[in-house]
């Protein structure tokens, strides 16, 4: 058996084009002009196909059943109509018989017999040689009980023929695969020759040299900065460096895609998206400084585990989705307790860190992610310190999509700063410059109830631990609560079972 040729890849084609261009440049061969140099017009991209035999009402009024059995599927139904009834099939009848044939409820011989001996077929009077003997073999198989034994005997008798047909099909498939590989090699050679004659890198060599020089400079700067960071141990600057490295790589990829044509709308949009992530490293460093350690956050979030258990969430059929998952503390806690969970965040650095920890996280806009999810697919949806970042319209749309994707009985958990604490509402809330406005607990409950959540409740969390004892003892309890009460709260809502 002849050894098959491995298919050529696009990268290999481009490398051959580059080598051929360099060879022609060195040899002083000018690109060809005229029709041969007009792009890829000389390349034939037609795939070989297997056509069905021709048919039509003009084929006569006498035929053999094998003339029809050489067709398959829709062509078979159409040919039978045109040969026997001398007309094209109507849409409803054609689809009805085609569906039954595909399901195996109707044998092709039986179908031919039905057409031939129908009132319309009898009036046409087309003779189908070999039909009656075949019907005598097929129709007994339709008899209850006895038909099963008849079909079994027929199948046993046809087994040698079926084996022979399978061997023939295997041989034909192998030959067609070889022919397809040869055709692909021909296409690759044509593409190689045409592209080498058409494309010239002379106009882009200065740009390539500039890009190469810039890449070398960036690489040297990154290495020097990385060495300094390793010695100084400045984690925030190292994270910024990694972010800059990723964005430079993505921008260079867009520049490469530009050559030799102008920027497409898709490429412009991709560059615009990268501009939206300029502060990813800044916000990641901000979280590390003001959010608290991972262990502290995970310890605080353990209070929600009983709610997840009670809702039956966290299984493979009722997973948990964490919106704005950040550094992934909640996802890590769920994984440690054997729960199935995934997250989504728009910050590239957070997504990379989560994936490095083995967590399932998508880098997407949360609304776009929710809209692509199937309804009634999640056991729980959570968002920790996210809703205070959203405009009202976006928040309401997020609640609507959360309600849609939750299974009946599913739970939604939204944690946010508590403006009932005056220090939080007047000062610490605005430590994060990306916060929009604080949401009082009653407002959050109202919004969830109006979007269809039921059994909504508020959990007030994290009171000030370091209170001035002497002063607090002399203060009214209401004032103590306003100044040193809970700094955060969670609003929990559920999707009704019916």
Instruction: Tell whether 303 and 227 lie within a shared domain.
Output: no
Picking from 74, 59, 52, the residue whose alpha carbon sits closest to that of residue 126 is 59
Instruction: Tell whether 299 and 447 lie within a shared domain.
Output: yes
pLDDT band at residue 151 under the 50/70/90 scheme:
low
Question: For residue 488, what are its two tokens?
Answer: 């955060």
Highest average pLDDT, of 108-122, 282-296, 341-355, 455-469, comes from 341-355
**Residue 334 CB partners (closer than 8 Å, separation 6+):** 308, 314, 320, 340, 341
pLDDT at 57 over 60: no
Q: What is the mean pLDDT of residues 170-178?
A: 79
Judge whether 108 and 76 are in contact, CB under 8 Å. yes
Q: Domain ends where: 278, 302, 337? A: 278
Instruction: Tell whether 321 and 457 lie within a shared domain.
Output: yes
The answer to the question of residue 161 being in a domain is no
Counting DSSP H helices and E strands in the chain, the numbers are 22, 9
In this prediction, residue 414 carries a pLDDT of: 98
pLDDT at 8 over 60: no
In this prediction, residue 314 carries a pLDDT of: 96
- Please name the residue ranges forming H helices in 199-262: 205-232, 235-258
In this prediction, residue 21 carries a pLDDT of: 67
Q: What is the mean pLDDT of residues 141-149?
A: 62
Give the Cα separation of 41 and 228 in Å (integer).
Answer: 55
Picking from 386, 236, 395, 277, the residue whose alpha carbon sits closest to that of residue 325 is 386
Q: Domain ends where: 278, 302, 325? A: 278
pLDDT at 230 over 70: no
pLDDT band at residue 42 under the 50/70/90 scheme:
very low
Please state, as a whole number, how many other Cβ atoms lie within 10 Å of the Cβ of residue 176: 12
CATH number, domain of 435, equals 3.40.50.150
Instruction: Tell whether 300 and 439 lie within a shared domain.
Output: yes
In this prediction, residue 35 carries a pLDDT of: 40
Q: What is the mean pLDDT of residues 51-68?
A: 61
Q: Which of 55-64, 310-319, 486-495 has the lowest mean pLDDT?
A: 55-64
- Please name the residue ranges forming H helices in 259-291: 265-275, 280-290
pLDDT band at residue 48 under the 50/70/90 scheme:
very low
Q: What is the mean pLDDT of residues 329-337?
A: 96
Q: Which of 95-104, 193-202, 433-442, 479-488 has the lowest mean pLDDT?
A: 193-202
The answer to the question of residue 413 being in a domain is yes
Look at 188 and 212; give whichever has higher pLDDT.
Answer: 188
Give the Cα separation of 459 and 488 in Å (integer).
Answer: 9
Domain with 209, as residue range(s), is: 203-278
Instruction: Tell whether 308 and 356 lie within a shared domain.
Output: yes
Instruction: Tell whether 242 and 315 lie within a shared domain.
Output: no
Instruction: Tell whether 305 and 237 lie within a shared domain.
Output: no
Q: What is the mean pLDDT of residues 59-80?
A: 81
CA 436 to chain centre: 32
What value does the mean pLDDT of the chain take?
79
Instruction: Tell whether 118 and 211 lie within a shared domain.
Output: no
Look at 95 and 343; give whichever has higher pLDDT.
Answer: 343
Domain tally for the chain?
A: 3
Look at 496 and 16; give whichever has higher pLDDT.
Answer: 496
Please give the model's pTM, rounded to 2 decimal places: 0.49
């Amino acid at each position: 058996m002849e050894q098959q040729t491995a298919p050529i890849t696009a990268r290999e084609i481009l490398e051959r084009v580059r080598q051929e261009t360099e060879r022609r440049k060195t040899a002083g061969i000018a690109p060809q002009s005229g029709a041969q140099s007009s792009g890829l017009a000389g390349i034939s991209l037609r795939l070989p196909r297997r056509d069905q035999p021709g048919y039509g009402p003009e084929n006569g009024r006498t035929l053999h059943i094998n003339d029809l059995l050489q067709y398959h599927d829709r062509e078979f139904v159409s040919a039978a109509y045109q040969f026997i009834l001398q007309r094209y099939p109507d849409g409803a009848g054609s689809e009805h018989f085609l569906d039954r044939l595909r399901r195996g409820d109707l044998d092709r011989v039986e179908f031919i017999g039905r057409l031939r001996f129908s009132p319309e077929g009898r009036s046409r009077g087309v003779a189908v040689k070999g039909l009656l003997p075949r019907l005598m073999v097929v129709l007994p198989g339709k008899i209850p009980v006895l038909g099963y034994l008849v079909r079994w005997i027929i199948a046993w008798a046809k087994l040698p023929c079926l084996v022979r047909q399978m061997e023939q099909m295997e041989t034909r498939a192998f030959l067609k695969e070889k022919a397809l590989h040869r055709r692909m090699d021909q296409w690759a050679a044509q593409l190689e020759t045409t592209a080498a004659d058409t494309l010239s890198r002379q106009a882009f060599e200065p740009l390539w040299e500039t890009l190469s020089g810039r890449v070398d400079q960036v690489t040297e700067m990154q290495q020097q900065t990385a060495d300094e960071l390793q010695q100084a141990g400045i984690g925030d600057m190292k994270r910024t460096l990694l972010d800059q490295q990723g964005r430079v790589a993505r921008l260079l990829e867009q520049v490469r895609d530009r050559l030799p044509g102008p920027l497409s709308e898709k490429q412009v949009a991709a560059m615009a998206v990268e501009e939206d992530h300029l502060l990813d490293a800044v916000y990641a460093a901000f979280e590390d400084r003001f959010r608290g350690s991972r262990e502290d956050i995970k310890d605080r979030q353990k209070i929600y585990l009983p709610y997840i258990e009670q809702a039956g969430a966290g299984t493979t059929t009722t997973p948990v989705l964490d919106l704005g998952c950040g550094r992934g503390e909640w996802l890590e806690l769920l994984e440690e307790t054997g729960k199935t969970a995934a997250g989504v965040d728009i910050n590239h650095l957070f997504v990379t860190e989560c994936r490095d920890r083995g967590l399932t996280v998508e880098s997407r806009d949360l609304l776009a992610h929710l809209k692509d999810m199937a309804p009634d697919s999640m056991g729980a949806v959570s968002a920790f310190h996210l809703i205070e970042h959203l405009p009202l319209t976006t928040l309401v749309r997020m609640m609507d999509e959360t309600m849609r994707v939750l299974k009946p009985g599913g739970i939604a958990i939204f944690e946010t700063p508590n403006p009932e604490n005056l220090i939080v509402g007047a000062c610490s809330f605005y430590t994060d410059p990306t916060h929009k406005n604080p949401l009082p607990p009653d407002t959050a409950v109202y919004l969830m109830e109006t979007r269809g959540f039921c059994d909504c409740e508020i959990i007030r969390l994290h009171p000030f631990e370091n209170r001035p004892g002497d002063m607090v003892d002399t203060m009214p309890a209401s004032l103590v609560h306003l100044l040193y009460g809970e700094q955060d709260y969670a609003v929990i809502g559920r999707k009704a079972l019916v």
